[in-house]
Structure formats: structure tokens, C-alpha cells
A = this chain, B = another copy of it.
């Protein structure tokens, strides 16, 4: 990998890092000091504790404990235990969250549950350009169920006015995966409730990053991803939230044995478990949950207001410096910090090649089709100096035209 010459950051930048109350968290992650990792919103960095936890889990719990570890090491309670830890991060009660399955599968459970509440309401309303798995899952439900469910995608601008008496649920990603635009959670939830619709939030780009307050906003249900800011590892189990007031009234369409009131009674008929447990389906990935728990534990008792504030400050720093170094580079994210999550997108006709050149220089961000450079600012391991250097290297790549090389244009399976 070609490394940019290390440039000393200005004193004001070094001071920001020295005064950063979250700087101590960087040491909890195993990150090459030469890498500037601005992609924790796609795959969170590896916590130092994860390898040991998995090694112990594999050798002791699985290898020696064998089947007994379902009880002796409480594998059976892992989805609830980790769910309770995630609950703290998103303004939920401990028994309102469960960690299991993927975000897509969990969204299907909640959509199915939501559309079974009131047969008179058929529409699932969402935003055009939402992270595609959300509308894809809605389409799958629509195709399966037929005329009882109708998916409607509208522009962000017309969304609130599109909520009506036929709306069963409004489904939105709290922070848009590309633009980084943040929906005002309480206001939109209220707008949905005013028309009698349920509000489902996808927190994939918020959990572990923003001070989310689901119950404060009155949200009904939510899903979120374990492998971004929670650092649960590639394809980590996701989670889902169902407000306590709904739990006994709704049921999951994915009613596997782990969501049964008595899974080991092996009854022929399904009786949903009491509470959030009914949203389990098959046997959850115990290895995946162990890694997720190690990631969630890094956040521990961290003050999420501080975490959010730092992430927003890093983004502000990026914007200001980019504006000064490359004034012509168009920001594709909202200008106001309160309207954003913790990542930014910039538009560039050669975004793919530019990102490859950046990665070659140790600045890892994302390309997002068709023309976006995406940079995420994980507050626990990105420093102000990282941000400063990233913009310097970006400016260098753009000025020099170094991205304009065939090897940077070679597309890979995952972009």
C-alpha cells in the first residue's frame, strides 16, 4: 500500500485530540496505526477483546462444555442479555430488545407483525432511495401476502403528507445510508401516530453512534445492525425492538421454535413466548452473538450524547477542511449537523477510482453508486488528526489526478 508521507497536524488539531474525553476508547480497538478507518459505518473495527472472547468460547464453552453450555454458559439467554445492553444505547427498556438474525429478517418479522394488526390498513410507506434491503423486504412481503399489503415509496419531501388512513406502518431509516440525512424521530413518529399508523425505525446507521431515544420518541418498533458502529463483526446478528405496549398484541410471522413459550416441550402447536422472546425464530448464532457482545461491551456505559457530539464534531471538521482545501467538491449530505448522522457523502464523477486511490493511501472509506464518496466517523476510534490527514490525502489525490489510473477503475464484487 502506498502511504502518504505522514504530515504533522496543526497544533489546534492535536489539542482537540488531547482534550477528547473519548480518546481512551481508541486503545480498545485493534487498528493499524497507519490506517485511517472512515468506514466503521459499514464494518466496525475489531475490538481487542473479541479474539480472546471467541477463542475461550470455542475452546471452553463449545469444545469442553459441548451441549451443556446452553445452560452452563447461558447461551440460551444471549439474545436477551445482549438485547438489554443494546437497549441502553437506543432509549429502550431491557426487555424491549433482542439480538438475533439479520436486519432484513428482523424487518420482515416486524412488517409482518405490523400488517397483521389492522386488516383495514394495507399500506407500508417508505422513502424512495432508502437502503434497498428495506424496500426489497417490503416487496417480498407484498408478493407473498398479495392484496392485503401494498408497498408505497414516496420522496422524503412528501412522506409526511403521504401517511393516511390506509397506512399500516411507516418504515424509515433514521440516518440515510448514503446522504447521512437524519429524520427527526419524534416528529415523524408523531405524524405516523396522528394517522393511526405504526412507526418502524431502521437504526442501522444510528445505533452506537447517536443518542437514540426510541421511547422518548414514542416509537413502536425498530431494527438495527450489529456490524457497523457496534463492531460485532462481519454479518453480526442484528437486533429488533418492540415497545412493551405492543408485545403481547402482535406476533412474528417467522414463528420458529426459539420464539415458542416452551421450546423444549416440543408441542405441535405454536404458542408465542411472553414478551420480546416471541421475536426469536430459529437457533441464533451463538458465535456471532459472542462477537457482538464483545463489541457492545466496548461501548459499556459510554455517554451516548458525548459519542454523538464527537462524531458530529469530526464530521464538521471534515466539512470545514474540505471546503478550504477543495472548495469545488460538492457535499451530498445536509449542511446542518442536527440533520445528519455520523457520515458524509461527497459527489465526484470518478468516485469509485478516487476511493480506490484513497484506500491505497490508507484512507478507507466507501464508494456508493453511482458517484458518492462516503466517509464515516466512528467516535470511538477516529481522531481529529485522522480526519485532518484524510482530507489532506483526499486533496492530494484530487489535485494530482492520481486516481486516474486503470487499476483504480477495476471493479470488485463488493464496492
Cβ-defined partner of A75 (8 Å) among B178, B234, B253, B270: B234
Are A287 and B288 interface neighbours, CB within 8 A?
yes
A268 in the interface (beta carbon within 8 A):
yes
Q: When the two chains form their complex, are residues A104 and B256 in contact, meaning their CB atoms are under 8 A apart?
A: yes
Q: Are A137 and B254 in contact, with the CB atoms below 8 A?
A: yes
Q: Are A369 and B266 in contact (CB under 8 A)?
A: yes
Is residue A101 contacting chain B, with contact meaning CB distance below 8 A?
yes
- A62 — which chain B residues lie within 8 A by C-beta? 43, 46, 233-234
**A39-80 with Cβ < 8 A to chain B:** 39, 42-43, 45-46, 50-51, 54-55, 58-59, 62-64, 66-71, 75-77
| Contact present for B63 and A46 (CB under 8 Å) | yes
Question: Is A285 an interface position by the 8 A CB rule?
Answer: yes
- A102: Cβ under 8 A from any B Cβ: yes
Q: Is A413 an interface residue (CB 8 A)?
A: yes
A59 to B233, CA, bound (A): 11
Contact status of A139 and B255, CB under 8 A, knowing A58-B46, A285-B236:
yes
Q: Is the CB of A235 within 8 A of B116?
A: no
A232 → chain B closest CB, angstroms? 9
- Min distance, Cβ A285 to any Cβ of chain B, angstroms: 4
Say which one of A140-148, A302-310, A334-342, A401-409 lies at the interface with B.
A140-148
Q: Is the CB of A71 within 8 A of B413?
A: yes
State whether the Cβ of A153 lies closer than 8 Å to any Cβ in chain B: yes
Task: For A285, give its contact among B237, B255, B263, B415 (CB under 8 Å).
Answer: B237
On chain B, the residues within 8 Å of A103 by CB distance are: 282-283
| Partner pick for A238 among B39, B51, B269, B282, CB 8 A cutoff | B282
| Minimum Cβ distance to chain B for residue A119 (Å) | 9
Given the complex, which residues of B lie within 8 Å of A414, measured CB to CB?
Answer: 70-71, 75-76, 264
A283 surroundings in chain B (CB, below 8 A) = 102-104, 227, 234-235
- A241 CB → nearest B CB, Å: 17
User: Does A229 touch B at the CB level, under 8 Å?
Assistant: no
A265 interfacial contact with B, CB 8 Å:
yes
Q: Tell me if A218 counts as interface (CB < 8 A to partner B).
A: no
> Taking A253-B144, A265-B369 as contacts, is the C-beta distance between A136 and B35 under 8 angstroms?
no
Contact with B along A195-212 (1 / 0, CB 8 A): 000000000000000000
14 A-B pairs in the complex with CB atoms less than 8 angstroms apart: A62-B234, A71-B412, A102-B284, A116-B144, A128-B268, A132-B268, A135-B269, A136-B260, A137-B281, A140-B254, A140-B270, A178-B266, A264-B415, A266-B369
Known: A140-B255, A143-B251, A236-B287. 6 other contacts (CB 8 A): A30-B59, A67-B366, A132-B257, A132-B267, A137-B254, A137-B256
